[in-house]
Amino acid sequence: MKKTLILLLLSVLSFYAQGQLGYGPELGVGMSTFKFAAPTSPILYTSSSVSSILSGKLGFLIDVPLSRHLYFQSGLYVSRKGAERSFSYHFNDSFSEQVHQSVYANYFDVPIGVVFKKGLQGKGRIMAGLGGQPSYIIGGRTMLDDRLVFAGVDSNTKTYGKIETEKTLRGFDIALLVTLGYEAATGMFVRAWYSSGVNDLGISSEIIKNRTWGLSAGYIFGKGRNSNKDVDDLIDNTK
């Protein structure tokens, strides 16, 4: 594992020394939700639903050419994910419970994947990417609204709290990441993304998996991203 990381680092440094490494910021806005199944204990909830929340991401990427059209991309991002979820239990008219919870989780994301770019570098081109995205929770908050009816007595409790790993949600997640966008000759780009979490983040018997999608924009600095460069100086035209 250490040898692999060292080789990857040396490769990135080599591309940087040759002026072929692209790098830059990226900002995205989107929606987030859960694939969700309500807990079965200590109460077997009889119904559940989930709705999306506004989410986003901000970070820095590297763009390493592997061939004329294939690129390796990675980076480090801060993102927000979560959802609003409701679940209820109804035994009879004198005993029922309804729970509504809003979850806003903050993550460090490290996307790792390959991107295919159609056309020549230094010109506008369509790009499509596929990869994985390890993530770890770095904080967040929750709001829980619990309404209980027992023996004709109606009680309502609201609780606000911080997200704690392994108590609120499991800390580590990994997702499949798909992107599709357009890179301009100047290095500016826009792209849509969709990520589907693989890990079950639920505690105890509940099932929670992240789902996010959105639109982002950024700028890739580096050799060949400037449309004023001579064509012969672009890395995609070397022979």
Q: pLDDT tens digits, residue range 32-54?
A: 999 888 777 777 777 888 999 99
Query: Average pLDDT in the 137-148 region?
Result: 92
| pLDDT at residue 14 in the model | 54
At residue 70, does pLDDT exceed 90? Answer: yes
Q: Classify strands 95-109 and 125-150 as parallel, antiparallel or unpaired.
A: antiparallel
Distance CA 195, CA 206 (A): 21
pLDDT of residue 12 exceeding 80: no
Task: Answer whether residue 28 shows pLDDT above 80.
Answer: yes
Average pLDDT of the chain is: 84
* CA-closest candidate to residue 206, choices 42, 40, 50: 40
Cis peptide, bond prior to residue 42, ω within 30 of zero: yes
Structure-token match 């995609």, residue found:
236
pLDDT band of residue 10 (cuts 50, 70, 90) is low
Comparing 76 with 226, the larger pLDDT belongs to 76
Of 26, 34, 27, 77, residue with least CA distance to 53: 34
The DSSP-derived string for 47-116 is EEEEE-EEEEEEEEEEEEESSSSEEEEEEEEEEEEEEEEEEEEEEETTEEEEEEEEEEEEEEE--EEEEE
Domain residue extents for the chain: 22-237
The per-residue pLDDT for 59 is 97
Residues forming beta bridges with residue 80, ordered by sequence position: 56, 106
2 has pLDDT over 80: no
In CATH, the architecture of 22-237 is: Beta Barrel (2.40)
